[in-house]
Amino acid sequence: MIEIWPGDPYPLGATYDGAGTNFALFTEAAERVELCLFDEENRETRVTFTECEGFVWHGYLPGVGPGQRYGYRVHGPYDPRRGQRCNPAKLLLDPYAKAVEGDVNWDEAVYDYRFSDPESRNDADSAAFVPRSIVINPFFGWGHDRPPSTPYHNTVIYEAHVKGLTINHPKIPERIRGSYAAIGHPEIIDHLTALGVTAIELMPVHQFVTDHVLVERGLTNYWGYNSIGFFAPHNAYSSTGQRGGQVLEFKAMVKALHEANIEVILDVVYNHTAEGNHMGPTLSMRGIDNTGYYRLVDDDRRYYLDTTGTGNSLFMRSPHVLQMIMDSLRYWVIEMHVDGFRFDLAATLARELHEVDRLSAFFDLVQQDPVLSQVKLIAEPWDVGPGGYQVGNFPARWTEWNGMYRDTIRDLWRGEPASLPEFASRLTGSSDLYQDDSRRPAASINFVTCHDGFTLQDLVSYNGKHNEANGEDNRDGTDDNRSWNCGEEGPASLAIESLREQQKRNFLTTLFLSQGVPMISHGDELGRTQRGNNNVYCQDNELSWVDWSDVRENWLLLEFTRRLARLRADHPVFRRRRFFYGRPVRGSEENLSDIAWLTPRGEKMTDADWNVGYARSLAVFLNGEAITEPDRRGRQIVDDSFLLLFNAHHDVIKFTLPKDYGEMWLTEIDTAMPITVDTRVCRAGESVPVVGRSVRVLRRV
């Protein structure tokens, strides 16, 4: 007989205190809750909770400590038409589990209905086919770990997949490749540091599940946007082999990155879970309190309201769902020391009823929270529901993945007409999207590529997607790629490959020299290709992994990217904290505007010039003496001035250097000459040739 004490209703989850473990589970639907403990032979012992306060069932088990495997069985009503799906035959994961062991073995037993009769209740025991929750040891030697707290305007983000970035790295010990330990390895840290990266944004590391349909097709959920545990680091990314070891390994990774002054941002999926729609499995919340956790269709509560395209949506109006999300976020900041979050399909989090409300309860809670309001908060500002595209509409202190930036920069370099006015706005921080909300250029997370869509190499190599390997007849993935293959689909001749390399340098140069926060997708600096697949969510193989053997072949692109990073880091004019005013700035000795837009003739752009649909070239003057903002010590920032010459036309254009903005100029970057740079000093009034489809960056001397 296992001894059980009353324990406490808070905190939720399993909390070890050095002498025993307190267990607490919220469920308003339950009539009885059993805590199920598993020994080393996987034998199950059930303990019935006798205490329930405010719908939190709880108990304290003395002597139970780290490594203990457990789950829950919830007794209560089963009536899917009313949204009730309690079934004690299903072993359930603790929504607050800090670690999870095992994975789902897809058997009919994990479903609450029988395949032959979806209206019937399935009383087959699921314990042999589902993962276990794990009690963890919360103690860790953080030492003097401190968050880097890099200001947004100095931030460079590197989006990466834990396994995909590290699994093929030849200089990382094989036993830790693909793990949290590999991300914290000096080889990866040195690579990030050389790229000027200040924050690594990890694709989902919450415990996730590979969907049944993917397993049947011999595929896997590689990206991980299918969470089942919002507190637990995904166990497959652990190299320790120890029960609960993923927690300690994750913390050690964060500590190592912090020592290198690199922040850790997590891509989090709080909009839905892996339990899917009404035909999905019963793994956790569905069997604990279905109506309390999920948005259901009002007139038939068998069905789930889905604004995510994944089968279900969490019920954001429920105070207990909001508490769970807030508890999860605080846990990752306070206990795991992460520095921020990127919220997948963030518009879903804002939905109170059927519309996106930027002042929803979730954003109000984050805004007033003394912990979360101080970390980096990045929104993916769209979902698949009505009115789901919300770029520019998130609250103050939030930044956003700027999808308009991505589309505009792609359009310019593939030669789309009438793109110059939009390009000018995106290059300068998208004030049209953010300034009205009192936000600054850093509200814009600028990217050309990310995990979803083409890699940079594929963006310049394919006109259409090639997703046949996904087993969906190439129907999955977006058709709106805004790509250009430079004349031939896939691998091509030397001349075309040369143009593609130049186009990649154009994209990277535009990205690093735009106002806002640049984000690089992992492997783009190494020419990573997915062979035209723009949706590798299910490809956990060489197609999606970074090929580090490409370093030698792509050293030129890698070194060029490092040069861009150094240029941005050295010159605050490319990372201003405030938007441009477009007029002379008080105190400037030359009485020049902080920015000027010029034609290739060296004259100021007129309305007529902006509206020439076929125009694809312009010059931008950035006044380094007009930054108008102090540094952290209150000293006025003065920088060099630059002239950016953009030529998205296919032929050479001669740019006349304007006479009013400086006498002598030196070339810093020329995307048409990646190795040798023209060291000749150019003078005002002189014509400077800019090769077709290239960028030339001049610094005033």
Identified catalytic residue from 275, 289, 327, 380: 380
Which 8-state DSSP code applies to residue 310? S
- Distance, CA of 288 to chain centre: 29
Give how far Cα 173 sits from Cα of 179, 185, 186, 522, Å.
11, 9, 11, 20
How far apart CA 229 and CA 131 sit, in angstroms, is 11
Give how far Cα 606 sits from Cα of 586, 648, 683, 686, Å.
24, 19, 24, 22
Is-catalytic flag, 344? yes
- Is 331 exposed, middle or buried (CB count within 10 Å of its CB: 0-12, 13-18, 19+)? middle
Identified catalytic residue from 344, 501, 594, 625: 344
Residues 6+ positions from 231 with CB-CB distance below 8 Å? 13, 96, 97, 98, 206, 327, 328, 331
First to last CA, the chain: 83
How far apart CA 111 and CA 212 sit, in angstroms, is 11
How far apart CA 30 and CA 128 sit, in angstroms, is 23
DSSP strand pairing (617-622 vs 642-647): antiparallel
Residues 6+ positions from 264 with CB-CB distance below 8 Å? 199, 200, 202, 253, 254, 257, 258, 337, 338, 339, 340
Q: Token pair for residue 68?
A: 């203990």
Is-catalytic flag, 570? no
Give how far Cα 526 sits from Cα of 458, 547, 551, 589, Å.
12, 8, 6, 43
Residues 6+ positions from 319 with CB-CB distance below 8 Å? none
- Is 207 exposed, middle or buried (CB count within 10 Å of its CB: 0-12, 13-18, 19+)? buried
Report the sign of the C-alpha dihedral through residues 341, 200, 390, 438, in that order: positive
Give how far Cα 328 sits from Cα of 16, 308, 567, Å.
17, 20, 38
| Pick from 413, 442, 420: nearest CA to 430 | 442
| Pick from 312, 318, 400, 394: nearest CA to 357 | 394
User: Between vectors from CA 612 to CA 610 and to CA 613, what angle results, nearest 5°?
Assistant: 115
Catalytic residues: 344, 380
